[in-house]
């Protein structure tokens, strides 16, 4: 079945089954491999993208649920105001270790900052609790989000 989806401000026509997860479409059909596969069950956050600005787990989001919503991935998050601040803060605070979880971390953090420019510790915990990091970069992630918030 054919679907037209808008990803990073560009329309793409894809021919896949309606229950195909958005993550599969991004990676295998469109070749956008910045978004990562971790668990495939909405448990780790590695696959996080934005749908109309909200952080969603693309591994459990069927393509036929997208409709005309705007999808943003890690490839374009730096073009948004909050995303650019988060990416700079990630570099300033040297957050990344192995890097595998970090696309998802940045997408969740960017969505948080876009809707709440000055998050409390509790707001950060709520927004980031579903993003798992096997390398344990959580302390630096929190510092980087606060650093980004100070620059707003």
Task: Kindly list the residues in this chain that would bind ligand FES in the complex (CB under 6 A).
Answer: 37-40, 42-47, 57, 59, 96-102, 133-135, 137
User: Rounded to the nearest whole angstrom, what is the least distance from the CB of residue 36 to ligand FES in the complex?
Assistant: 7
Nearer to ligand FES, 53 or 130 (CB): 130
- 90 to each of 70, 84, 101, 137, how far by Cα in Å? 25, 10, 13, 11
Nearer to ligand FES, 45 or 83 (CB): 45
Q: How far is the CB of 128 from ligand FES (least distance, A)?
A: 12
12 burial (CB, 10 Å; 0-12 / 13-18 / 19+) is middle
Minimal distance, residue 118 CB to ligand FES, in Å: 25
- In the complex with ligand FES, the residue whose CB is nearer, 59 or 86, is 59
Q: Pick the closer one to ligand FES by CB: 48 or 80.
A: 48
Paired sense of beta strands 70-72 and 2-7, if any: parallel
- Shortest approach of ligand FES to residue 132 CB, angstroms? 7
Decide: helix, strand or coil at residue 56: strand
**Gap between the Cα atoms of 98 and 84, Å rounded:** 21
Helix (H) or strand (E) holding 108: helix 102-115
């Amino acid at each position: 079945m054919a679907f037209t989806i808008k990803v990073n401000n560009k329309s793409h026509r894809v021919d896949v089954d309606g229950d195909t997860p958005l993550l599969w479409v991004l990676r295998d059909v469109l070749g956008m491999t910045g978004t990562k596969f971790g668990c495939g069950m909405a448990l780790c956050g590695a696959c996080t993208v934005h749908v109309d600005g909200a952080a969603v787990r693309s591994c459990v989001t069927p393509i036929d649920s997208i409709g005309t919503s705007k999808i943003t991935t890690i490839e374009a998050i730096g073009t948004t105001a909050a995303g650019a601040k988060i990416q700079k803060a990630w570099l300033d605070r040297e957050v990344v270790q192995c890097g595998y979880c970090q696309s998802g971390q940045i997408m969740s953090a960017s969505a948080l900052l876009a809707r709440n420019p000055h998050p409390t510790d509790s707001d950060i915990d709520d927004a980031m609790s579903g993003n798992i990091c096997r390398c344990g970069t959580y302390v630096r992630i929190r510092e980087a989000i606060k650093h980004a918030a100070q620059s707003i």
